[in-house]
Amino acid sequence: MVTVLQTVLGVTALVYLHGWCGLWTGLARMIQPWHAGSFLLGLFAVWLALASPVAAHDQHFLTVHMIQHLLLMSVAAPLILLGQPLLVLTNGLPSRLVDAVGRLLCRQRIQQLGAALVTPTLCWIAATAALVVWHVPAALTLTMQSAPWHVVAKASFAVTGLLFWWPVVQPWPSVPAPQWSTVLYLFLAMLPCDILSAFLVFSDRIAYSTYVSMPGHTSLSVLEDQQIAGALMWTVVTLVYLTAGTIVATRLLTPRAVEAV
């Protein structure tokens, strides 16, 4: 599984770089180096979360599980979208494949479905649901005991992370238009994370008893691990969301905010 993921990430990076080189030299350099850097950093974050040596310990420590969740939803997702992935990857694919995909995307029902999927309400619900559902003790235990469900959980973090950040970043084919509602969107998204984080940090009981059965673990070490995981989530989510909200607000308060990104 890890080898397959590494191959997919490597091929994606190569296709992206091929497409970026074409756009950099052909269309008045509309895609800047920072776009490529952001996308590649996003792929690296995915690798760290799912294929690095650290990822192998996610079933032994809640903190590692939380690092994976944060990397996928709060770090990799916005970085990948900032790289304008659809525009650049499309330019890097073979022309026949691009034409076939283009004909498919031109269908009205496909366009309507795509527009519906990236509405802020649906994106917020999807990301919040993934956060809540997979941190229910029974669900988390299921992912630790079942390899298929483990893959499903991690995939849902990645997909809903991309959905969540789409209305914020607004990559192509969206028409960038910063709105004050985006700041509210980010603030409301922090609330479920804060509630879960606070519970993990201040609770005096172990939320995920399955970790106690791991070799070398004690009730005290598992509780400390739980508190560290909660504090990490609280800190990272607060920093990332406040930073994003500040950037959006700054663009709204700046005359050039109406310009395309």
pLDDT digits (tens, 9 = 90+) for 187-242: 999 999 999 999 999 999 999 998 988 877 777 799 999 999 999 999 999 999 99
Q: Compute, in degrees rounded to 10, the torsion defined by CA atoms 140, 146, 152, 155.
A: 80
Count the domains in the chain: 1
Task: Kindly state the DSSP code that residue 76 receives in the 8-state scheme.
Answer: I
For the purposes of burial, counting CB atoms within 10 Å of the CB of 225, is it exposed (0-12), middle (13-18) or buried (19 or more)?
buried
Q: Which residue has the higher pLDDT, 60 or 115?
A: 60
pLDDT of residue 140: 95
pLDDT of residue 89: 92
pLDDT band at 54 (very low <50, low <70, confident <90, very high): confident
Please give the structure tokens belonging to residue 61.
Answer: 């420590």
pLDDT band at 93 (very low <50, low <70, confident <90, very high): confident
Domain containing residue 37 = 2-258
Q: Find the mean pLDDT for residues 70-88.
A: 96
**Distance separating alpha carbons of residues 160 and 166, to the nearest angstrom:** 10
Please give the structure tokens belonging to residue 92.
Answer: 């890097």
